[in-house]
Chains A and B, each alone.
Chain A
Amino acid sequence: MEVIRNFPDSELVANLRNGKKMDESIKTIYRSYFDSLSWYVMNNSGSRQDAEDIFQEVVVNFIDVVQKDKFRGESSIKTFLYSLNRFTWLNELKKRGRSLKREEKYEHEQDRVELDTSELMTEREEKATLTNLVAKLGQTCQKILILFYYENLSMKEILAVTDYDNEQVVRNKKYKCLKQLEKMINERPALKKILKNLLHG
């Protein structure tokens, strides 16, 4: 039976930043904040599915912010997630051509929390475009690239969890997959600007 434990804010941020105990930490975020954050979406024209999708996006963005050292800890995780959730949902509504007047007013009057979450929203589309490219790669390429660049496994470790003959074959495959992704990016000139924003923004 799984032992459920919740981390205090400082420990949670440290875990996410260092990539340690990721599963437990993400579960803690879900168990602590999903109900209240999804309630906000569902009470503002959103469905249950909307609430789940927005929350997933909020968690990914939060971890990304923490791992890039942009979470300064001036507000609690709860406050930060609430802000992120609200902005993400309003952004989604705008994208769908709907808006909540009351919420727009609220958005303008509300003090900016922690870092400018609207900046994150500008990146929202850009990040979605980039990750969609990875999704277009074949399953094998996705697996090898994620094991190497996200899970930070060595070639030897990747060999152990795949069917390749030796490390060099894995290395070659990984190189080809990366080049394939590079090619896909190059085929989309509009992405060049996004890349500059993301990398040097």
Chain B
Amino acid sequence: MDNFTPDISEKLVQYLDGELTGNEKEELEQQLKSYPALQEKLDTLLAAKESIRLYGLKQKVAAIHHIIMDESEKPVKQINPVKRILRFSIAIAASIVLVYGAYMAYIFMTLTPEKVFAANFQPYELVTSRDIGIEDSPALRLYREKKYSEVVGLPYDSNSTIEEEFVRAMSFTELRNSEKAIESFKHVIASNENKSMKIYYDESEYYLALNYIRNKEYKNGLKLLNKIKENPRHLYYDKVSAKLLRKVKMLEKR
């Protein structure tokens, strides 16, 4: 028990709580200096305040401790093994679709008629086995020598052979003049109409299709390619792949 009056005890608590000001505060501080027992009483109150603060802090940490422990102890939802395999498979399938989609998008964005043409074009080489004593015409000779500009510069008339017309069309193709090449290949095809023995017919259809593609006439190109693809006996049947048809269709849709 202490021997202090209720009044001074109240004053000490007010001082502890920072509620004393002015003269009252100065007066109490003087008394604290003069009476060690009063200072000791204040120390006890300060310790009480400190213990409350610590207790409050402990409670706060304990409350958060429980929240954190509850979070970490939440059971992980078990997935049925069949469902897990199914989910895994779906995830893999989705990834493949995604990668394939991205690849196709890339192809779609970067695809050009020139790329399709270059990937499927092969220079045409004339057969060299000739009867002895028969010379090549100037057009064929110049073509063999890869002098394409000179080939197309030669006069062309009704006396020209289908072979000469074909190398003329191929020369325009080599010179990247698809419009003229298309025109020439059409003549080769037309010249073969109603003939039992067709010369450079299959070759012309294939190279005409490629020139249509390079010239952005995709519908005409596709029509010819599909015609070749429908005939297994066509010389260029193996050249027309599903990939080529798909790419031309993609170009058509752009």
Contacts and interface: CB of A to CB of B under 8 A. Distances in A.
Interface of A: 22-23, 26-27, 30-31, 34, 52, 55-56, 59-60, 63-64, 127, 130-131, 133-135, 142, 145-146, 148-151, 175, 178-179, 181-182, 185-186, 191, 194-196, 198-199
Contacts of B13: 175, 178
Contact of B64 (A23, A64, A130, A198): A23
A133 B43 CA distance: 16
A64 B44 contact: no
A135 B68 CA distance: 23
Given A52-B65, A145-B52, A60 B47 contact: no
Given A145-B52, A182-B48, 14 more contacts: A26-B60, A26-B61, A34-B68, A55-B65, A59-B65, A127-B54, A130-B50, A134-B51, A135-B55, A142-B55, A148-B17, A150-B60, A175-B13, A198-B50
A146 B59 contact: yes
A145 B50 CA distance: 11
Nearest to A184: B48
Interface of B: 1-2, 9-10, 13, 17, 43-62, 64-65, 67-69
Contact of B54 (A55, A131, A181, A195): A131
Contacts of B67: 27
A148 B50 CA distance: 12
Listed from nearest, the 8 A-B pairs whose CB atoms lie closest are: A150-B56, A130-B51, A134-B55, A195-B47, A146-B56, A149-B52, A30-B68, A181-B48
A131 to B, nearest CB: 5
A95 B236 CA distance: 94
B156 to A, nearest CB: 80
Contact of B53 (A133, A142, A149): A149
A56 B47 contact: no
B52 A134 contact: yes
Interface of A is mostly: helix
B64 to A, nearest CB: 5
A181 B62 CA distance: 22
A30 B52 CA distance: 23
B194 to A, nearest CB: 80
Contacts of A23: 60, 64
A130 B61 contact: no
Given A175-B10, A178-B13, A130 B57 contact: no
Most chain A beta-carbon neighbours within 10 Å: one of B1, B51, B59: B51
Most chain B beta-carbon neighbours within 10 Å: one of A133, A145, A182: A182
B9 A181 contact: no
A129 B9 CA distance: 24
12 contacts: A26-B60, A56-B61, A56-B62, A63-B61, A131-B54, A134-B52, A142-B55, A149-B49, A178-B13, A181-B51, A185-B44, A194-B47
A184 B147 CA distance: 116
Contacts of B44: 182, 185-186, 195
B65 A30 contact: yes
A71 B9 CA distance: 35
B65 A60 contact: no
Most chain A beta-carbon neighbours within 10 Å: one of B2, B52, B55, B58: B52
B19 to A, nearest CB: 10
Contacts of A151: 56
A12 to B, nearest CB: 14
B49 A60 contact: no
A31 B61 CA distance: 13
Contacts of B9: 179
A131 B47 contact: no
B48 A150 contact: no
B61 A59 contact: yes
B48 to A, nearest CB: 5
A148 B49 CA distance: 10
Given A130-B51, A131-B54, A142-B55, A60 B46 contact: no
Nearest to B17: A148
